[in-house]
Each structure stands twice: as C-alpha cells, then as structure tokens.
C-alpha cells in the first residue's frame, strides 16, 4: 500500500482504474501545490547563496558552510521532484 506524499497516511487504491493515487485527498493535493510554491522559493534563495560561495562573494555566517547549503539545496530539489511527480496522479 502506498502512502500519501503529503500527509504520509496510507492511500486506499481505487480498484479497476489502474491509476495509482499519490494523494489521499483533494486537500492534500492542494496542500502539495502550495508546498511546491514554497519549495521553489526556498530553492531560489539557496541557489543565490550557493552562487555567492561559487563566486567567492562573502556570505553571512548565518548560512553556515557551503557544503551544508548545497546539501539542503539537494534535499529541497528532491522534495520538489517528489511533489511534482505526484501532480500527474
């Protein structure tokens, strides 16, 4: 049994249609759309910081180490892909 990408609750498969559901409800699908928007904004911010590291522009201490910024960027991109994959289902 699959779990909802948004709330992680098990999804009841609708038999016969052959289509795999990715969200348990319309509410979760809507919430995922909003999360896509927020994740996009987060990625934009992280890319800007990563660019500063690349160009050797001084970066505020609060952003931490370059490798941590890149790791977080990677995490957010994976989450975005996961959410976008669900938009077809």
Decide whether 32 or 49 has the Cβ nearer to Zn ion. 32
- Residue 70 in contact with Zn ion, rule: CB under 5 A: no
What one-character-per-residue DSSP string does 37-77 give?
HHHHHHHHHHHHHHHHHHTT----GGG--HHHHHHHHHHHH
Decide whether 26 or 55 has the Cβ nearer to Zn ion. 26
Supply φ then ψ for residue 10, to 5 degrees: -60, 145
The 8-37 contact track toward Zn ion, x by CB under 5 A, reads ----------------x---x---------
- Residue 5 in contact with Zn ion, rule: CB under 5 A: no
């Amino acid at each position: 049994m699959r779990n909802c990408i948004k709330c992680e609750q098990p999804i009841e498969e609708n038999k016969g249609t052959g289509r795999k559901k990715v969200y348990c409800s319309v509410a979760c699908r809507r919430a995922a759309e909003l999360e896509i928007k927020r994740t996009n904004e987060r990625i934009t911010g992280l890319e800007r910081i990563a660019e500063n590291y690349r160009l050797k522009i001084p970066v505020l201490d609060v952003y931490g180490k370059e490798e941590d910024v890149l790791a977080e960027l990677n995490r957010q991109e994976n989450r975005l892909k996961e959410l976008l994959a669900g938009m077809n289902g």
